[in-house]
Amino acid sequence: MKENKKNREKDAAQQEAQAQEAPPQPDPDAPAQDEEEKITITRQKLEELNAYVKQAESKRDEYLAAAQRVQADFDNYRKRNAALRTEVAEDTLRDTLKEILPSLDNLERALSAAQAAGEEGSLIKGVEMTLRGMQDTLGKMGLERVEAEPGVLFDPERHNAVMMSEADDEHPEGTILECFQTGFAVKGKVIRYAMVRVAN
């Protein structure tokens, strides 16, 4: 009997030792909990990733808008600069041609006086050729005469009325009767008004 008791105690001790050594048996509910935890973690990571993507897209749009603004500003600057260069060049041309006009007037007066006096010869031909060459060159540069012949309608944008005379049947009111000094324009912009007498 004592031996049976000892054997039972020994068997119980062995079973207890084996139970301690053996790995714990998985709980049938445990896998379901692990899966739920994994799904929850995956969802959180997806939400974080989506938030990061949205933030990255927002930054991208912000940088793109800034780059487009810089590009537009640069294009506007380039256009303004080109327009300014053109304007400065045209203003310089007008100023230069304006300074040449008195010399042109003097050549025309000299030729008119010589022709009125009936003079001929190489000097007159030389003045004539010089005047013609000068007119051609200035014409190529854009210089044009302001129309101010008798009978032309007076235009305050192109003519300067220095005298007024009574209108008649041949010259109605508001028309030019006489031009005292030729007016000039460069590319449509008047650089010197024509001095005229107008019918009133």
The helix or strand, by DSSP H or E, that contains position 147, with its residue range, turns out to be none
pLDDT in tens, 1-29: 556 666 677 776 677 666 555 455 555 55
The residue behind tokens 């007076």 is 154
pLDDT in tens, 78-117: 999 999 999 999 999 999 999 999 999 999 999 999 888 8
Q: How far is it, in rounded angstroms, from Cα 52 to Cα 138?
A: 69
Q: How far is it, in rounded angstroms, from Cα 144 to Cα 146?
A: 7
Q: Domains in the chain and their CATH numbers?
A: 49-141 (3.90.20), 143-200 (2.30.22.10)
User: What is the pTM assigned to this prediction?
Assistant: 0.61
